[in-house]
């Protein structure tokens, strides 16, 4: 395959498709020359002039590349083709030489067309970025280049315009089309970040308040505080990562390159020997040379050279269209080969937000009073569980704060204490209750343990010297989790394991609900690494799905790491092999299916390219075919391989 930098000159006469037009002109003059030579019966050199012009157009770019590579000490396929074409001209087979250069240049041009098409569909993200932004300065607006934006600037985004920077909404409500970044087909509702709260880091803000550069605003104007410079925006990072994709060659591509380095010198040696066959067998030098050139055409691995890179780039491009960033050929091939996937729990298989499950009153305590107590106390706490309880009770019971609680304080590892109606109240685990001299009745203990076994986080409420109630929360599974795991099972994923730092019972409860094969709980980050090592020893290749941050050590050890919701996380974009830009677990079967389709097409391409060579070489050595047929079959296989790879751009999950 030609290096991309060798093709910058193709932007010349006919623009970016100059190489393709040159190839077509080569074919046109070949056809004219062949017609004049065959049917015109003219005693002129017009047909030869047409063949020479065909040589010029067909060999222009190939010759440039061949010399560039020779300058680096490389003798590759381009060199073999030039030698074959010169040899064909030397023995008077101008038509066959022209056909060779026409078809080889056409295959080359189609390869670069496929590569450019694939790259453009990924890099189109860059074109989506706005070029200017409306900077708000007190009461005036000023249009400035996005490069001049600074962190902390406030920009105004008009309806139906591109958002110019990654930031947080401080005013306005709108629906944002995030498809260019996350691949989500439906617009996402966005609202302002609460004014009474300090704005945290971009990656820590709820996704309902943040916007990405390159996405498109809906019907309402927004005011956005810029949180990232243009060069650090998600879309800029994405493009720079995609630019590095080709440096990460797939295992098949590396093997093919190694094979070529050994194979090409062998072909040159074989052809040189065949040139002197007339010294051993009874034939003329011209006959030996003709056979040698025919073998040179037949043995050149043109189709093999482009069989893998064209398929890899087409696969990566198709993934990017659906909001999946696959970072190179190795990740693309590895993803399709795994049969075991390990999942983080929080935020991956679950919503990552605790939901209120149960509130139970004991000892004839009024449930409405218990709910009021919980709301008054929990709303004063900053703990995520307390916030979830207070929010849920307020929404479900339509309660308003009566300021009946005060003096709240956390008791590390146990719960909280506060005053409610000037009497002490305790909300927490059994250790807290025991420490505060509360007696836990058998019935309460039984219900407490039942809720724990169901995977819930359970807290008791101690008030007025007795246990008055129980409250439980749970990080509930994503709505799409069970169906996604079912689809993964159908496409051959045999083992699906949860690795979580949460309690063992919580992990098992979630695993049972959504259909996981195994669950391992109480794991610290280093424990997850050990678990991953054991899974690799047992199953060979293992993928790890997480947020790319907390699970970084385990993900680094996995065969292929997959980050969820990577659009908001620089770390995930940087560290993961595959990044699901949206927060959609259901994109995973598509990514694995695409990876397998890419591998199938790579194998088909290799079979076609090597199959044609394996048949043509012995046939041409034995002199059973002429150079014209050898050219037609050999270069035809190159065109077939490129077209086969382009099919990936239309891949759809079954």
Nearest 5°: the CA angle 308, 310, 313 is 105
Listed as own residue / partner, the contacts of 168-171 with beta carbons closer than 8 Å and 24 or more positions apart are: 168/193, 168/199, 168/202, 168/205, 168/209, 168/210, 168/211, 168/224, 168/225, 168/227, 169/193, 169/209, 169/210, 169/211, 169/222, 169/223, 169/224, 170/195, 170/223, 170/224, 170/225, 171/222, 171/223
Q: Is 530 left (phi over 0), alpha (psi -120 to 50) or beta?
A: alpha
223 beta partners? 156, 171
Residues 344, 502, 551, 583: which is the catalytic one?
344
Least Cα distance to 150 among 125, 169, 167 occurs for 167
Structure tokens at 61: 């770019």
8 A C-beta contact, residue 177 and residue 187:
yes
- The residues with which 341 forms a beta bridge, in sequence order, are 496, 543
Nearest CA among 349, 387, 299, 294 for reference residue 551: 349
Q: How many helices (H) and strands (E) does the chain have?
A: 21, 21
Checking DSSP bridges between strand 457-463 and strand 423-428, what pairing results, if any?
antiparallel
Question: How many of the other CB atoms lie within 10 Å of CB of 11?
Answer: 11
What the block records as the tokens of 514 is 């959504």
Residue 569 CB partners (closer than 8 Å, separation 6+)? 203, 547, 548, 549, 563
β-pair type (560-563, 542-546): parallel
C-alpha–C-alpha distance, residues 126 and 128, integer Å? 5
Helix (H, G, I), strand (E, B) or coil at 475: strand
Active site residue 344: yes
DSSP states of 83-114 as a string?
A: HHHHHHHHTT-HHHHHHHHHHHHHHHHHHHHH
Q: Which two tokens stand for residue 328?
A: 């190179």
> Residue 171 CA to chain centroid, in angstroms?
33
Q: What are the catalytic residues?
A: 344
């Amino acid at each position: 395959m030609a290096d991309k930098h060798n093709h910058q000159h193709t932007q010349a006469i006919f623009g970016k498709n100059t190489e393709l037009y040159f190839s077509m002109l080569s074919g046109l003059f070949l056809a004219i020359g062949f017609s004049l030579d065959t049917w015109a019966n003219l005693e002129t050199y017009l047909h030869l002039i047409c063949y020479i012009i065909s040589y010029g157009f067909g060999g222009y770019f190939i010759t440039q590349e061949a010399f560039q590579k020779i300058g680096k000490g490389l003798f590759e396929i381009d060199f073999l083709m030039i030698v074959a074409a010169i040899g064909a001209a030397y023995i008077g087979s101008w038509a066959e030489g022209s056909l060779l250069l026409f078809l080889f240049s056409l295959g080359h041009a189609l390869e670069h067309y496929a590569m450019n098409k694939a790259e453009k569909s990924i890099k189109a993200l860059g074109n989506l970025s706005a070029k200017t932004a409306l900077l708000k300065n007190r009461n005036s607006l000023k249009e400035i280049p996005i490069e001049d934006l600074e962190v902390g600037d406030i920009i105004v985004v008009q309806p139906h315009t591109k958002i110019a920077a990654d930031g947080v909404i401080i005013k306005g409500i709108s629906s944002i089309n995030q498809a260019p970044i996350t691949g989500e087909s439906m617009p996402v509702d966005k609202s302002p970040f609460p004014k009474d709260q300090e704005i945290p880091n971009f990656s820590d803000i709820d996704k309902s308040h943040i916007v990405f550069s390159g996405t498109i605003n809906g019907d309402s104007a927004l005011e956005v505080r810029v949180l990232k410079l243009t060069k650090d925006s998600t879309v800029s990072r994405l493009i720079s990562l995609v630019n590095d994709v080709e440096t990460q060659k797939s295992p098949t591509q590396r093997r093919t390159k190694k094979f070529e380095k050994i194979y090409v010198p062998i072909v040159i040696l074989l052809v040189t020997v065949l040139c002197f066959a007339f010294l051993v067998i009874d034939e003329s030098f011209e006959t030996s040379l003709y056979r040698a050139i025919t073998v040179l055409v037949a043995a050149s691995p043109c189709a093999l050279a482009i069989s893998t890179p064209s398929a890899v780039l087409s696969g990566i491009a198709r993934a990017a269209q659906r909001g999946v960033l696959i970072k190179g050929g190795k990740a693309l091939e590895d993803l399709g080969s795994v049969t075991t996937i390990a999942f983080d729990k929080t935020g991956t298989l679950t919503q990552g937000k605790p939901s209120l499950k149960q509130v139970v009153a004991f000892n004839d305590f009024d449930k409405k009073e218990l709910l009021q107590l919980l709301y008054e106390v929990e709303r004063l706490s900053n703990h995520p569980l307390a916030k979830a309880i207070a929010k849920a009770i307020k929404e479900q019971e339509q309660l308003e704060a009566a300021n009946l609680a005060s003096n709240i304080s956390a008791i590390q590892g146990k719960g909280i204490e506060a005053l409610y109606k000037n009497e002490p109240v305790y909300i927490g685990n059994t250790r807290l209750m025991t420490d505060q001299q509360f007696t836990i009745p058998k019935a309460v203990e039984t219900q407490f343990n039942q809720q724990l076994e169901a995977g819930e986080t359970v807290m008791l409420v101690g008030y007025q010297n007795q246990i008055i109630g129980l409250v439980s929360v749970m990080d509930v599974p994503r709505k799409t989790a069970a169906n996604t795991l079912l689809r993964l099972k159908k496409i051959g994923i045999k083992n699906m394991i949860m690795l979580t730092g949460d309690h063992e019972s919580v992990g098992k409860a979630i695993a049972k609900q959504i259909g996981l094969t195994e669950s391992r709980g109480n794991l610290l980050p280093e424990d997850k690494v050990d678990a991953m090592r054991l899974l690799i020893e047992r199953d060979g290749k293992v993928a790890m799905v997480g947020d790319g941050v907390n699970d970084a050590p385990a993900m680094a050890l996995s065969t292929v790491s997959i980050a969820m919701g990577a659009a908001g996380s620089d770390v995930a974009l940087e560290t993961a092999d595959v990044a699901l830009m949206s927060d959609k677990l259901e994109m995973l079967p598509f990514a694995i299916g695409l990876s397998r389709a890419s591998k199938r097409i790579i194998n088909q391409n290799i079979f076609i390219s090597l199959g044609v060579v394996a048949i043509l070489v012995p046939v041409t050595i034995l002199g059973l075919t002429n150079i014209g047929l050898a050219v037609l079959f050999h270069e035809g296989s190159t065109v077939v391989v490129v077209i086969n790879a382009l099919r990936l751009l239309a891949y759809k999950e079954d």
